[in-house]
Amino acid sequence: MLRPDLLLQPTPKGLYCPPGDFYLDPVRGAVDRAVISHGHSDHARGGHGAVLSHPHTLAIMAARYGANFAKSTQALEYGEVIDINGVSVWLTPAGHILGSAQITVEYKGLRMTFTGDYKRRADPTCATFEPVDGTHVFISEATFGLPVFRHPPTEHEVGKLLQSLADFPDRTHCIGAYSLGKAQRIIRHLRLAGHDAPIYIHGSLEKLCAVYEAAGVPMGDLRPATIDDTSKAAREAYRGHVVIAPPGSFEGKWSHRFPDPLVGFASGWMSVRQRAKASGVELPLIISDHADWDELTDTVREVDPHELWVTYGREDALVRWAELEGRRARPLRLVGYDEEAG
């Protein structure tokens, strides 16, 4: 069987496939050919020559970077196989955000699966993670790759938000959530829990929520959280409602325009109390779009690869765990990927 590093090689630009002459989620500069796992900006960047990805990811990239974000694009549905210079390539759901995919490459009998970012929790806004059978080398993230990270059930955290709305009906609940994936997931969970009231969103969420709507994920009554009118009457209209915006929006004066704001933050990092306290978060919601420690290790056991490669995050801990289980493992030390969104 082919040596794994002859099929995929870590480079400063990202994982490179020499036989196919393409990159997986290149992070530094434009490349001629890129296969993109999902639409987050640390994985999907504009300016490449040719981009191959799931159609939802292409729609997200177009919304973020404009219709001409690459010289050419090609959509690949889950399970559809394409041949690139003799290398078979296909996508499998990663469960991270809308359109997120694991990228499997196979060449001369060697099958390698790159997860990008993934989670194992049920998510009403995207397809659920599916293990790829017969994977020889499994390339996993490790954003929450420490045993301390064990996330509570999502329903529990959404219940905390709903309870807070009931307990403090006169306060504006300002929830920080990453604009792609997390924000739409919070909105959808609230809708499924019966919250039918208008939800106000930051301008940066509007195009992305529209992409989700077009993909068949209903968002309900969304309204712009724009306060051009700073009169008391206009500000009072937000009282008792949920406002969702990127976390950085609440660090300045923007959130203080809302009446009696109660600031929350939806992230796996909210399990670290010091982070919540330092950020002035009154309502920490431990909701992550990444696998926690148990999900990472359970996934490796389920896939049961010949070898584990760890791409970013807490690489050393997951590699050490694998070695103690008698598995071959190595950290890739890739840089340029952001773990703060959580």
The candidate with the shortest Cα–Cα distance to 137, out of 102, 94, 96, is: 102
pLDDT > 70: percent of the chain: 94
- Asked whether the predicted pLDDT for residue 144 surpasses 90, the reply is yes
> What are 120's strand-pairing partners?
none
Q: Taking the model in full, what pTM does it have?
A: 0.94
Separation between Cα atoms, residue 135 and residue 150, nearest integer Å? 26
Q: Which residues contact 170 (CB under 8 A, 6 or more apart)?
A: 239, 240, 259, 260
Q: What is the largest CA-CA distance in the chain?
A: 71
pLDDT digits (tens, 9 = 90+) for 281-323: 999 999 999 999 999 999 999 999 999 999 988 899 999 999 9
Separation between Cα atoms, residue 213 and residue 209, nearest integer Å? 6
Separation between Cα atoms, residue 21 and residue 249, nearest integer Å? 40
DSSP 8-state secondary structure symbol assigned to residue 332: -
Burial class (CB in 10 A: 0-12, 13-18, 19+), 288: buried
- Asked whether the predicted pLDDT for residue 342 surpasses 90, the reply is no
Q: What are phi and psi of 262, to 5 degrees?
A: -110, 110
- pLDDT at 336 (0 to 100): 54
Separation between Cα atoms, residue 286 and residue 271, nearest integer Å? 6
Q: Where are the alpha helices (DSSP H) in 8-137?
A: 55-65
pLDDT digits (tens, 9 = 90+) for 172-225: 999 999 999 999 999 999 999 999 999 999 999 999 999 999 999 999 999 999
